[in-house]
Structure 1
Amino acid sequence: MGLGPRLDLRQSQSLVMTPQLQQAIKLLALSNLEIEAFIAEELEKNPLLEAGAGDSERAEPGGEPEGAADFAEDFDGGDASFGDGGDEPITSDRLMETGDAGADAPLDVDYDAEVFQHDSISDSPRGLDGGLGMDMATPGSGYSEDGPDFGAMTEDISLQDHLLAQAGSVLSGNDLVIASMVVDLIDEAGYFTGSPLEMAQRLGVPLFQIEQVLAVVQTFEPTGVGARTLAECIALQAKEADRYDPAMARLIDNLDLLARGALPQLRRICGVDEEDMADMIRELRNYDPKPGLKIGGARIQPVTPDLFIARTGSGWAIELNSATLPRVLVNRSYYVELASGPQDKNSKAWLSDCLASANWLVKALDQRARTIMKVATELVKQQEAFFTKGVEHLRPLTLKAVADEIGMHESTVSRVTSNKYVMCERGLFELKYFFTSAIQASDGGDAVSAEAVRSHIAKLIAGEGDDILSDDKLVELLKVRGFDIARRTVAKYREAMGLGSSVQRRRQRALTKHAA
């Protein structure tokens, strides 16, 4: 073979992850609230995009907007159709395969000129929860019948700021500097995590001065803050309540014995009878082991459902929560105005890219909604017994089983069910909750869901009374109910639910009776 330059033609195939394809994949895994933030960023970047009006703004007075089908699914009447005119809908898988933004038909129709369906329970007269009993005017929600309570939504002051404000009112000079350093070393639970000796060496001050300032900080509100151990935290609160007598002091010094339920030994150490010991235990229960959590802390954000499922007379209604899913439109009139004006080659290319990007985003959001509805509809079909009878009737289900039924890839179903929640009559659940492993039935019948087994274990333990059930006994009772499960599996499920062993539950019940 001769050596020398030459030209060869070769043909090969490869999968190219275009930006549009990456965007479509990303949108599937986002929740409605994350989609809202994503759309806000796109509206800032693309001048051809604008937020569309919701259906509630177009509703006729005293009634729902005109329009035909909604997303309600009647299981007795066949599968719901998500296409137009009976045509087969374009799935997200097919949308990702094409990835051609220019070829996609623009979905920039004028919603004020066209009639569309009422596509969310939140837009209907039933309210945001679709008649499921979720009233927005609930205590602590920041809302009332007269409107939002802005005072209730004010950000709480942090624990450190709260303590520094108290330190500034009683300390000054070097003591205030030391107090600020002490406060910086107090964690969110209210415990001092530093070392007085190390602080004294670093600041070059006597150790007793650090101890004195720490003692002052321990007098601040909330009571018990600045303690170094649980016993010290409880002791500070007992002193504040004027209950720190010698017997209580000895009880606090032996909290490990109390945790083990060694009540006879504790009575001998404290020198009290059963009645006094029960009174002291009741007093201990009134103290807060984490006083710092009363002040500040991270605000807990409530979970917002992405889907609503409600029972109707003819089946199940499944709807997207459009209250957290704003509409996006392409402003074609603005595009025509820009395109008709004077522009150079770069401006024309930029405008074309904006139009293609806007069309693709609208199309991707529409297909995302259709895909979520398709997966949710199949989930309700597969787990209808759960929605009608409860968690004990939850069936084992895999992502692949749902993907095969709806004709999509397993990874697509996984993305759709990630970070999304559904509100139904039985509460708020993550979509991943409905996918559980299988437990073989002891009678050779159909396998049952692991979540259903956990529910049975919790009910058995909740109703055990004075006869504490061991794990072996739980295995026997579950086998009677038709669940073939090993003892180690029972222990694993029990620990995952935060339920103690039979020894721990027996000890806890004895302490409860003693303090009652």
Structure 2
Amino acid sequence: MAISTKLEMRQSQSLIMTPQLMQAIKLLQMSNLDLVAYVEAELERNPLLEKGDAADAGPGGDEEPEPREPAGDGPEASDWMQNDLETGAEAIASRMDTDLGNVFPDEPGVPASPDPALLKAGDSYKNATSSSTSEDYNLEAFVAEEASLGASLEEQMHLALSSEADRLIGGHLINSLDENGYLYLDLAETAELLGVDLARIESVLAVLQTFEPAGVFARNLAECLKLQLIDKNRFDPAMAALIDNIELLARRELAALKKICGVDDEDLVEMIAEIRALDPKPGSAFGSSPVQPVVPDVFVRPANDGSWTVELNSDTLPRVLVNQTYYARIIKTARNVTEKEYLTDSLQTANWLAKSLDQRARTILKVSTEIVRQQDGFLSYGIAHLRPLNLRTIADAIGMHESTVSRVTSNKYMSTPRGIFELKYFFSSAISGTVDGDSHSAESVRHKIRQMIEAEDPKAILSDDTIVKILRDEGVDIARRTVAKYREAMKIGSSVQRRREKNARL
């Protein structure tokens, strides 16, 4: 075949995702915190966007917004929205595995905001500034900063070390600690790096290991426990032998420990109790980040007729309004084409963001309602009645694509009478049953395994084979390796380990 250069004409179809459609996809999978941060950035960037108040509740909120003139009345905005929704969303829904046609169905425009309130002539500058200042007042700004582990150790170092060279070494060692207070550092390499003798590094380290909290600057768990016992003046030869053979304690080989330590049963029990009273992570109490509570996106409450009421958490839904009045006034003062294009683009972006937020809320509510319908048994009777569920089941029931359901259930939480759960928690694989072909949720099977192990008799520990037999008698067809996998995932030891632990408690 001859190789030559030639021109060809081909007709083909291709998919082009506009920035607005990409934004809509990104909004679907954002958590409420990420969404609030994103909307705040858009409010600062777009002059036509305004933050809505609590009265402008979205779908599932407590109040309905008052009817307003639909946003996007201008010819540019209406043509753009109609064109993009028809060609962009429908093309993507038909040509790729993304259900954007369901994300943006044809709906009325976003309400426009009223005229911004103007200051009255009699209002003073002081009144105007005081109102804005009161809104920005944040009590959390006055909370004292939590002391960090490094700051606490540096204060002690300046009292314990007088030499500047030793303080330099001590500062380097403090900065090398992990969040638990352990020092995973090669002292020989550190000595070469700092240009000092290894003996001097070890001397400074010996001083630092006397600091509070006891156990910091340890290189391993045994040394951490040793430092704490020295601080309590309880590091005798028997305890030293126990620390040197700490792995035997982990394996519950108590007979070997008694022989090595040279103690009787009563002394060994007291020594183990002292070990358990120590802190294996002495640095974790300092500088820990505050625990952020999970804010649910959806509330599920029992209704009077025995069904369930599903509603969105309006506090997690940022509300934006498009100021059409300001746009109509400012577009007349545009001096050139560049300014008009900027204002038109800002209007289109604002309209699309408002519509995207509204549709995101509706999609979350739609998916959550179907999940509640599918998992009615779990809400009524507990985890043992959790049904096996996958994305396709929800997608087929509500007429959406699986990818849309997957994005909606990411980083979203549901508050139920049984607690707060991530939406993905309700999706679990199915385990076939032995009777009538009924399947069981993998999560409910894990719960049964945990219940059986917690209720087992210390003198009759259940092996994996015994658990398999019990589950099969209850109608669950499960293999032994699956039971072992679930048990390890729940961090439950084997039957041998559990027997040693429970006998030690006796």
TM bin, normalised by shorter chain, reads 0.7 to 0.9
Q: 1:282 to 1:349 in 2, by over 3 A?
A: same
Q: 1:303 to 1:65 in 2, by over 3 A?
A: closer
Q: For residue 503 of structure 2, what is the aligned residue in structure 1?
A: 510
Q: For residue 389 of structure 1, what is the aligned residue in structure 2?
A: 381
Q: For residue 43 of structure 1, what is the aligned residue in structure 2?
A: 43
> Structure 1 residue 415: deviation in Å?
0.7
CA contact (8 A) 1:108 1:359 kept: no
> Structure 1 residue 435: deviation in Å?
0.9
- Kindly provide the amino acid, as one letter, of the partner of residue 223 in structure 2: E
In 1, Cα distance between equivalents of 2:281 and 2:151: 18
CA contact (8 A) 1:396 1:449 kept: yes
> Structure 1 residue 304: deviation in Å?
1.7
Structure 1: runs of 5 or more not aligned: 58-63, 69-89, 114-146
Structure 2: runs of 5 or more not aligned: 67-88, 117-137
Q: 1:93 to 1:422 in 2, by over 3 A?
A: farther
Q: For residue 264 of structure 1, what is the aligned residue in structure 2?
A: 255
> Structure 1 residue 65: deviation in Å?
5.5
Q: For residue 398 of structure 2, what is the aligned residue in structure 1?
A: 406
- Kindly provide the amino acid, as one letter, of the partner of residue 337 in structure 2: K
> Structure 1 residue 67: deviation in Å?
8.3
CA contact (8 A) 2:55 2:64 kept: no
Q: For residue 132 of structure 2, what is the aligned residue in structure 1?
A: none
> Structure 1 residue 399: deviation in Å?
0.5
> Structure 1 residue 197: deviation in Å?
2.4
> What SS is found at the alignment partner of 2:171?
helix
Q: For residue 293 of structure 1, what is the aligned residue in structure 2?
A: 284
Superposition map of 1:235-314 within 5 A:
235-314=226-305
Q: For residue 455 of structure 1, what is the aligned residue in structure 2?
A: 447
Q: 1:364 to 1:309 in 2, by over 3 A?
A: same
* Pair 1:345-2:337 in alignment: yes
Q: For residue 408 of structure 2, what is the aligned residue in structure 1?
A: 416
> What SS is found at the alignment partner of 2:470?
helix
> What SS is found at the alignment partner of 2:406?
helix
- Kindly provide the amino acid, as one letter, of the partner of residue 419 in structure 2: G
Q: For residue 469 of structure 1, what is the aligned residue in structure 2?
A: 462
In 2, Cα distance between equivalents of 1:7 and 1:236: 80
Q: For residue 34 of structure 2, what is the aligned residue in structure 1?
A: 34
CA contact (8 A) 2:51 2:320 kept: yes
Superposition map of 1:491-506 within 5 A:
491-506=484-499
> Structure 1 residue 463: deviation in Å?
0.3
CA contact (8 A) 2:103 2:359 kept: no
Deviations 1:146-183 (A, max 9, x none): x96777x5442332222112111221321111111111
Deviates more, 1:296-305 or 1:464-473: 296-305
Q: For residue 360 of structure 1, what is the aligned residue in structure 2?
A: 352
> Structure 1 residue 7: deviation in Å?
9.9
Q: For residue 183 of structure 2, what is the aligned residue in structure 1?
A: 192
Deviations 1:208-250 (A, max 9, x none): 2211110111011111001112111111111111211111111
Q: For residue 108 of structure 1, what is the aligned residue in structure 2?
A: 111
In 1, Cα distance between equivalents of 2:10 and 2:251: 77
> Structure 1 residue 307: deviation in Å?
1.1
CA contact (8 A) 2:104 2:359 kept: no
Q: For residue 440 of structure 1, what is the aligned residue in structure 2?
A: 432
> What SS is found at the alignment partner of 1:329?
strand
* Pair 1:96-2:87 in alignment: no
Q: 1:262 to 1:106 in 2, by over 3 A?
A: same
From 213, 229, 234, the equivalent of 1:222 is: 213
> What SS is found at the alignment partner of 2:310?
strand
Q: For residue 125 of structure 1, what is the aligned residue in structure 2?
A: none
Q: For residue 54 of structure 2, what is the aligned residue in structure 1?
A: 54
Q: 1:150 to 1:243 in 2, by over 3 A?
A: farther
Q: For residue 472 of structure 2, what is the aligned residue in structure 1?
A: 479
> Structure 1 residue 200: deviation in Å?
2.5
Deviates more, 1:287-296 or 1:452-461: 287-296
- Kindly provide the amino acid, as one letter, of the partner of residue 262 in structure 2: G
CA contact (8 A) 1:108 1:332 kept: no
Q: For residue 116 of structure 1, what is the aligned residue in structure 2?
A: none
Deviates more, 1:156-165 or 1:346-355: 156-165
- Kindly provide the amino acid, as one letter, of the partner of residue 380 in structure 1: V
In 1, Cα distance between equivalents of 2:446 and 2:6: 70
In 1, Cα distance between equivalents of 2:6 and 2:160: 88
- Kindly provide the amino acid, as one letter, of the partner of residue 487 in structure 1: R
Q: For residue 362 of structure 2, what is the aligned residue in structure 1?
A: 370
> What SS is found at the alignment partner of 2:380?
helix
TM-score by length of 1: 0.81
Q: For residue 162 of structure 1, what is the aligned residue in structure 2?
A: 152
- Kindly provide the amino acid, as one letter, of the partner of residue 476 in structure 1: K
CA contact (8 A) 1:222 1:294 kept: no
Q: For residue 121 of structure 1, what is the aligned residue in structure 2?
A: none
CA contact (8 A) 2:102 2:400 kept: no
In 2, Cα distance between equivalents of 1:442 and 1:99: 41
- Kindly provide the amino acid, as one letter, of the partner of residue 269 in structure 2: A
From 329, 353, 358, the equivalent of 2:321 is: 329
> What SS is found at the alignment partner of 2:475?
coil
* Pair 1:211-2:183 in alignment: no
- Kindly provide the amino acid, as one letter, of the partner of residue 13 in structure 2: Q
Q: 1:463 to 1:366 in 2, by over 3 A?
A: same
CA contact (8 A) 1:51 1:329 kept: yes
> What SS is found at the alignment partner of 1:372?
helix
In 2, Cα distance between equivalents of 1:341 and 1:231: 76
> What SS is found at the alignment partner of 2:311?
strand
- Kindly provide the amino acid, as one letter, of the partner of residue 44 in structure 2: E
Q: 1:281 to 1:112 in 2, by over 3 A?
A: farther
What's the RMSD between the two structures over aligned residues? 2.9
> What SS is found at the alignment partner of 1:317?
strand
Structure with bigger helix share is 2
Deviations 1:98-120 (A, max 9, x none): 9999x98531244899xxxxxxx
Superposition map of 1:141-152 within 5 A:
none
- Kindly provide the amino acid, as one letter, of the partner of residue 251 in structure 2: R
> Structure 1 residue 484: deviation in Å?
0.8
Q: 1:155 to 1:309 in 2, by over 3 A?
A: farther
Aligned residues: 448
> Structure 1 residue 384: deviation in Å?
0.7
In 1, Cα distance between equivalents of 2:114 and 2:328: 19
Report the identity percentage.
51
Deviates more, 1:442-451 or 1:44-53: 442-451
CA contact (8 A) 2:334 2:340 kept: no
CA contact (8 A) 1:105 1:359 kept: no
CA contact (8 A) 1:54 1:326 kept: no
In 2, Cα distance between equivalents of 1:453 and 1:472: 15
CA contact (8 A) 1:399 1:413 kept: yes
- Kindly provide the amino acid, as one letter, of the partner of residue 243 in structure 1: R
- Kindly provide the amino acid, as one letter, of the partner of residue 27 in structure 2: L
In 1, Cα distance between equivalents of 2:332 and 2:195: 76
